[in-house]
Structure formats: C-alpha cells, structure tokens
Amino acid sequence: MHTIIAFLFAGALSGGIIAFALDMKTPKEILQGVVGGIIAGFLMAMMLPR
C-alpha cells in the first residue's frame, strides 16, 4: 500500500511537470497530465514487489 501511495504521488507530480514542459498550461491540461501520471504511477506500483 505504501509503495502505491508513493508512486501515485510521484506520478502526479511528474505528470503535472511534464504537461507544463509540453506547453500544456491550462488548468484542464495540467490536470489531465496529473491524472495521466497517476495512472502511470499506479501501473508501475502494481509491477513492483511489495
């Protein structure tokens, strides 16, 4: 569970930063980036040993 929380956090933070770096700066686009990052973080955490 702790691994999942850590990766959701890392994913959300990374997703927001990447969306910004991609010049997608409206609140909706940043939020979409954050959600994309959360999905990626969740998938990654699922693949890790717990």
Residues that bind other proteins in the complex, under the rule CB under 8 A? 2-3, 5-7, 9-11, 13-15, 17-24, 28-30, 32-33, 35-37, 39-41, 43-44, 47-50
Q: How far is the CB of 13 from other proteins (least distance, A)?
A: 7
For 29, which DSSP code?
H
Q: How far is the CB of 35 from other proteins (least distance, A)?
A: 5
Cβ-in-10-Å burial (0-12, 13-18, 19+) of 14 comes to: middle
Q: How far is the CB of 38 from other proteins (least distance, A)?
A: 9
**9, containing H or E segment:** helix 2-21
